[in-house]
Structure 1
Amino acid sequence: MESEQLHRSYLDLTTPHVADACMRLDIAVRCAPPGTVPLWSGTHLVGRARPARHFGSVDVFLEAIDRAEPGEVLVVDNAGRQDEACVGDLVTLEASRAALSGILIWGLHRDTAELRTIRLPVFSLGALPVGPQRLDPRDPAALESAMSGPHRVTAADFVLGDDDGVLFIPLDRADEVAQVATTIRDTERAQAARMHLGNTLRNQASLAEYIAAREATPQTTFRQHLRSIGGEIEE
């Protein structure tokens, strides 16, 4: 899926919609570590992953940006370190000027005020004023893959982030994931609209029927029941 189509397809999809769609499609749900949050609320980030592993110098980020296509997301692997910030205002401004969609950091950022002014979506584990005080040997594959918690991310993935967190999804499954997530989103919105009109979720979910079915067949699950009636609340 091309960058522009990716942005159109996921513009109005949240990470919960997409996580549920991945579960339904038996795609492994890969999330950035809990606590990976945007610098401001209401952020929505989507784009193909452009990985870069940090070893103490920003040159790896500049090389990654130089290789990147517009709309991609710089995925920074700093091994979740809490003793240094690895991305600041200049790298963020460079990424913005190169038309990247945003930056995801497994680690910390700094220059928070400047980053908010630049307004490029940045997700990280938090802020710290001090930058790297080390320079480790660089892996030759530093631009080929990045880790985010336990998950390996490559250019074969795309990134979706919002206030609930960040997901990594195989790029070659983007279209079908978007289709299923759209169905889930529309069903949930319709259910919410009916609730505002007085039709309870218990009634929409035919809860009494489910309880009766479960008593008759204990292995019956609520998810199976919801699928049978076309409802959504969990996947």
Structure 2
Amino acid sequence: MPVDCPIHPATPLPPSELVDRLRKLATSLISDVFGRWAGATGLLPVAGLVPGQVVAGPALTVRTRPGDNLVVHKALDLARPGEVLVVAGGGQTDRAVLGGLMGQYATTRGLAALVVDGAVRDRADLAALAPPVFAAGVSHLGPYKDGPGELRCPVALAGVAVADGDLVVGDEDGIAVIPRGRAEEIVALAEEKRSAEEAERRAIAAGTWDRAWIDAALRMVELP
């Protein structure tokens, strides 16, 4: 018997120029300028990410029963090029909700990345055929296909609130999320932070890195 699958309206895609700027920013920069809490901790790259690569795009959100991928299949049918599939699977890693065939299909749909708060499988196929994949774990056990689920809805991704259309950034350190309404602000701050860190690297190389702040922050106690 069919199960309900509420589908909320799609969010307008962000300007491509904004997404291009995000691809030049590490997740650590975004986290630092956004209160150090933008990260969906525990979701790490498991396949397809090239060293040094940053992926970015608007979230296509999916809420599914843990270990079930019926609505994940439907999300792939609805995906628009450049989106990042964000699957809220409750963080359970005993059963995969996505594998090689779905990863290959995601490539044909033009998805920028796949983010699963749960498990995936077929890592070799994902590495060869899918967009970069981030997940909480890997399991060879396959999914149920019974539902229920919900598409383009607010979800919790490893403890971080994500709305459909929020900006998702992923690299070797994991996943960062930027609320759509603050994207321009956070991107500009992260770009400033990147420039400041580049200046610090030059100072380290020149032997002129200012370390005075450390002693200023410590009360040194001399012991006998």
2:124 counterpart SS class: helix
Q: Who is 1:16 aligned against?
A: 28
| RMSD between aligned residues | 2.4
For 2:43 and 2:162, the matched residues in 1 are separated by 18
TM-score scaled by length of structure 1: 0.77
Q: Who is 2:191 aligned against?
A: 182
When you count helix as a share of all residues, which structure comes out higher?
1
Percent of aligned pairs with the same amino acid: 29
CA drift at 1:105 = 0.5
For 1:33 and 1:3, the matched residues in 2 are separated by 27
**CA distance 1:43–1:128, change in 2 (3 Å):** farther
For 2:58 and 2:133, the matched residues in 1 are separated by 15
For 1:129 and 1:137, the matched residues in 2 are separated by 20
**CA distance 1:32–1:117, change in 2 (3 Å):** same
Q: Who is 1:131 aligned against?
A: 142
For 2:133 and 2:53, the matched residues in 1 are separated by 9
Give the paired residue count: 204
**CA distance 1:121–1:3, change in 2 (3 Å):** farther
For 1:3 and 1:128, the matched residues in 2 are separated by 36
For 1:61 and 1:33, the matched residues in 2 are separated by 22
One-letter amino acid matched to 2:38:
R
Quick check: 1:38–1:163 contact (8 Å CA) kept in 2? no
One-letter amino acid matched to 2:136:
L
Q: Who is 2:17 aligned against?
A: 5
2:141 counterpart SS class: coil
Query: Following superposition, which runs of at least 4 residues in structure 1 exceed 6 angstroms of deviation?
Result: none
The answer to whether residue 61 in structure 2 is matched with residue 46 in structure 1 is no
Query: Could you list the runs of 5+ residues in structure 1 that have no partner in the other structure?
Result: 216-235
Quick check: 2:104–2:130 contact (8 Å CA) kept in 1? no
One-letter amino acid matched to 1:62:
H
TM-score scaled by length of structure 2: 0.81
